[in-house]
Chain A
Amino acid sequence: MAAHLDELRTVNNYFDLDDILASQEKIPCVFNIAVEGLGYLDQSTNDPNISVGTKLELPFWLAKYLNRDARGIVAVETPKNYREGYRQILAADPSVVDLHRLGPHFYLFGGKLAILNLPDNQDVLNTLLQTFQGRFRRIMDGAQNALHSDLTSQTDMLDESELNLFAAGQRGLVGFQQWESRESEKLSTSTMVVNQRKRKWVSSNGDAGD
């Protein structure tokens, strides 16, 4: 039961690697106040300081804390991949869009944007849900039909969480196919033993030196 709840609570999984990676995605910010000595962050000028109005792309984890209220250090904007133009593309036909290129953690990062209270928050979240619903059938059919073939054509447009889903579908299919061809009842050598060609003899008392 506890494991099940943990799985549901993916919104802020502290140790989840995908979550960490998603929070590194860049988000466009405008500085509301001047910051001294941080000019090196802005590659385009030689000014040692950051002046008011400078536009910079900051990682989400940083922008989140600099933008805590209306008078925060920076003001954030919706990242390009989630703006109206891309939302329209996704609404037109979600299943042909290359989500991996739009951000390998498209859904996760999109969900994180919610806490920034951007003006088009609700539209972004709606788009995420509809995109997933639109792409679901394709992922399912791909995962349940492709066997022993090159999968890159199926998977290279998928976002990381969709890839995860695809792999789960594949496991179900492969497991059944192996059972059906009576592979699962055969004993086979562990892949670890196969891959390890020759085992080195190590002295048990530790003085293998001489």
Chain B
Amino acid sequence: MAMDPSEVEFLAEKEHVNIIPNFSQDTIFLISGDIGPFSAGLPVSVPLWLAVNLKQRQKCRVVPPDWMNLEVLQEKKQAEMDSRFFTEMPSPFYIEITQLLLQCATDDIPRADEIRTLIKDIWDLRIAKLRSSIDVFIKSEESHAKLNFLTLMEINTVREFLTKGLNHMHQLRSNLTGSGATQSSQFL
């Protein structure tokens, strides 16, 4: 069954972002890998969850990812509009990262509001595309489809619906091919 969006967010928090700490500390050794060393004023790459935590305690400044600026995102949006297919996103967790960083580090990201709107536009475009391709998929009675560059969060919003829909169609089709009828007749 579908994951909760907060679980998807949990996975996204493993992505690395750059921060500029305002404190110094030796390397932290964690099972998932070493983080640091931190020295005040020098950029360092840390997982998103740590960046959010440090930012909330005002221990660092977040360096926005390369793709999180207006020009790149506007290009991305245009490319998404022009293409029939899904285009590759700068990060597989673009919506989660935007959401988390814009929530806690608004002051570190230039023109945060416009970025929020752009990301939401891109999301809406992609979801609309996803929906029409699902419809084509169902109508054409195909058994498999290939969709590149879909992100986890996007898949997750339609997963339960799509699997239920396909199950239902499978049932109607197996009625037709007779496998359903033979199965029922076992109980006669």
Query: Could you tell me which A residues sit within 8 Å of B by CB distance?
Result: 7-12, 64-65, 68, 107, 110-112, 114-115, 122, 125-126, 128-129, 132-133, 136-137, 140-141, 143-144, 161, 164-165, 168-169, 171-173, 175-176, 178-180, 182, 184-185
Query: Could you tell me which B residues sit within 8 Å of A by CB distance?
Result: 2, 4-6, 9, 99, 103, 127, 131, 134-135, 138-139, 141, 153, 156-161, 164-165, 167-176, 180-181, 183-188
Name the contact of A140 in the complex, choosing from B9, B161, B188 (C-beta under 8 A). B161
The residue in chain B whose Cβ has the minimal distance to the Cβ of A178 is: B5
| Shortest CB distance B177–A (Å) | 9
Contact between A176 and B183, CB atoms less than 8 A apart: no
B residues less than 8 Å from A9 (CB atoms): 183
Given that A115-B181, A169-B161, A179-B9 are contacting pairs, would A161 and B168 also be in contact in the complex, using a CB cutoff of 8 Å? Answer: yes
Contact between B135 and A136, CB atoms less than 8 A apart: yes
Contact between A172 and B159, CB atoms less than 8 A apart: yes
A residues less than 8 Å from B160 (CB atoms): 168-169, 171-172
Contact between A172 and B135, CB atoms less than 8 A apart: no
Bound CA span A141–B165, Å: 13
Interface of B is mostly: helix
| Shortest CB distance B161–A (Å) | 4
The residue in chain B whose Cβ has the minimal distance to the Cβ of A164 is: B164
Contact between A112 and B167, CB atoms less than 8 A apart: no
A-B CB contact pairs (8 Å), 6 listed: A7-B167, A12-B184, A136-B139, A165-B168, A172-B159, A172-B160
Contact between B5 and A175, CB atoms less than 8 A apart: yes
Contact between B167 and A143, CB atoms less than 8 A apart: no
- Most central of B141, B167, B175 by chain A CB within 10 Å: B175
| Shortest CB distance B9–A (Å) | 7
The residue in chain A whose Cβ has the minimal distance to the Cβ of B137 is: A136
Bound CA span A144–B135, Å: 13
Contact between B131 and A144, CB atoms less than 8 A apart: yes
Bound CA span A137–B2, Å: 21
A residues less than 8 Å from B153 (CB atoms): 176
Contact between B174 and A11, CB atoms less than 8 A apart: yes
Contact between B168 and A172, CB atoms less than 8 A apart: no
Contact between B183 and A11, CB atoms less than 8 A apart: yes
A residues less than 8 Å from B161 (CB atoms): 140, 143-144, 165, 168-169, 172
A residues less than 8 Å from B180 (CB atoms): 11, 111, 114
Given that A133-B169, A143-B161 are contacting pairs, would A175 and B4 also be in contact in the complex, using a CB cutoff of 8 Å? Answer: yes
A residues less than 8 Å from B156 (CB atoms): 172, 176
Bound CA span A110–B2, Å: 29
Name the contact of B2 in the complex, choosing from A111, A115, A161, A175 (C-beta under 8 A). A175
A residues less than 8 Å from B174 (CB atoms): 11
Given that A111-B171, A115-B181, A165-B165 are contacting pairs, would A176 and B5 also be in contact in the complex, using a CB cutoff of 8 Å? Answer: yes
The residue in chain A whose Cβ has the minimal distance to the Cβ of B186 is: A12
The residue in chain A whose Cβ has the minimal distance to the Cβ of B134 is: A140
The residue in chain A whose Cβ has the minimal distance to the Cβ of B9 is: A179
Bound CA span A141–B186, Å: 39
Contact between A111 and B167, CB atoms less than 8 A apart: no
- Most central of B134, B159, B184 by chain A CB within 10 Å: B184
Bound CA span A172–B127, Å: 12
Beyond contacts A136-B138, A144-B127, A168-B161: 9 other A-B pairs, Cβ-Cβ < 8 A, are: A11-B171, A114-B175, A122-B176, A126-B176, A132-B168, A136-B135, A141-B131, A172-B159, A176-B5
Name the contact of A184 in the complex, choosing from B5, B103, B138 (C-beta under 8 A). B5
